[in-house]
Amino acid sequence: MRPLTAIVGPTAVGKTDLAMALADRLSVEVVNADSRQVYRHMDIGTSKPSKDDRARVQHHLIDVASPDEDFSLATYLRLAKDAIEAVAARGHIPLIVGGTGLYLWSLVEGWQVPEVPPDYEYRKSIEEIASTQGSLSVHDELARIDGVAAARIHPRNLRRVIRALELFRATGTLPSELLWRKGSVPAGSVIIGVGLDRSRLFARADARVDRMIGQGFPEEVSSLLNMGFSPSLPAMTSIGYREMAEHVLGRIDLEAAVAQIKRETRRLIRRQNAWFRPADKRITWLDYGTPAAALDAAARIIEGVPR
């Protein structure tokens, strides 16, 4: 595996801002590692780089799937590896940017994930069990098969529980061996972590939600629903879209939707700490409280890597 360069960190910390600033100094192309920015028509709620930013710096793995398309980890890895090789072949630096820990580490550590196609009939049968016996019963079945996988997947995240069971059914291999098989980071790789103290990070996240509303997030969700994308789709049940769909459908008012989005975003930030730990020696952490200093440090680190 070739050495990789990545910018990681929690939601709203400033990863995109740092990547764009680096592009003014270095010959980089961005490879997305955000699991929601892969979907078309979902721009505001995923905080995609602006059209101007994408015109100025080449971005990869953005708008590559429809919201109703099954987009697996294996699909992401295949597309990301192809993009990285293409960028490197042009003599540019592939800069992986995103906060989806599963995507980032599976790519950096070289996980080999089988491309198991979705088994919709099997999924429907498990969903029926969940509807009659409760989602916890499905999680209990996963725990019986693979305790490690069950411990890593929240009992109420039915979609991921079903996917783990689906992988086991198709391959006969424990999901934990497929999904969390640790590899080694290629020598020469650089993983830059962008951090902020918790109070400032939460304030940035709240401000971003307010900005999304001003940019027309309710209208974006309304448009998605009008295009026929069900609010029960995995893409549409992500943070922000789930709550805003409830508002657009008249079930909650805008104020309540915004409060829920902010609350769930803070929970996401806490969960992301499990993927990007301050004590992880593979990550060089930079304080983004002073963006100019963080930019200088990141540029020096990346420029110092032999290629």
Q: What is the per-residue pLDDT across 236-283, written as a single tens digit (0 to 9) for each?
A: 999 999 999 999 999 999 999 999 999 999 999 999 988 999 999 999
Convert the pLDDT of each residue in 87-146 to its tens digit: 999 999 999 999 999 899 999 988 878 788 889 999 999 999 999 999 999 999 999 999
CA dihedral 121, 164, 39, 185 (to 10 degrees): -150
**pTM for the full predicted model:** 0.87
Task: Find residue 286's DSSP bridge partners.
Answer: 194
Q: Which fold has domain 5-112+182-213+272-303?
A: Rossmann fold (3.40.50)
> What pLDDT was estimated at residue 43?
98
Q: Which two tokens stand for residue 201?
A: 């990070």
Residue 188's pLDDT band (cuts 50, 70, 90): confident
Residue 219: how many other CB atoms lie within 10 Å: 12
Output 153 or 285, whichever has higher pLDDT.
285
Domain(s) of CATH 3.40.50.300: residues in the chain: 5-112+182-213+272-303
Q: Which two tokens stand for residue 207?
A: 């401000």
204 and 196 Cβ atoms separated by less than 8 Å: yes
Whether the predicted pLDDT of 152 surpasses 90 = no
Task: Look at the chain and count its residues.
Answer: 307
Convert the pLDDT of each residue in 18-71 to its tens digit: 999 999 999 999 999 999 999 999 999 999 999 999 999 999 999 999 999 989
Mean pLDDT of all residues belonging to the chain? 93
- For domain 120-179, give the CATH number: 1.10.20.140
130 and 232 Cβ atoms separated by less than 8 Å: no
> What pLDDT was estimated at residue 65?
98
Rounded mean pLDDT, 160-181: 87
Whether the predicted pLDDT of 296 surpasses 90 = yes
Whether the predicted pLDDT of 306 surpasses 70 = no
Output 79 or 118, whichever has higher pLDDT.
79
Contacts for 149-155: CB closer than 8 Å, 24+ residues apart: 149/174, 149/175, 149/176, 149/179, 149/180, 152/176, 152/179, 152/180
Rounded mean pLDDT, 281-297: 95
240 and 261 Cβ atoms separated by less than 8 Å: yes
Domain(s) of CATH 1.10.20.140: residues in the chain: 120-179
d(CA 250, CA 96): 39
> What pLDDT was estimated at residue 166?
93
> What pLDDT was estimated at residue 181?
64
Residue 307's pLDDT band (cuts 50, 70, 90): low
Q: Which two tokens stand for residue 196?
A: 């902020």
Backbone φ, ψ for residue 76 (5° rounding):
-60, -45
Whether the predicted pLDDT of 183 surpasses 80 = no
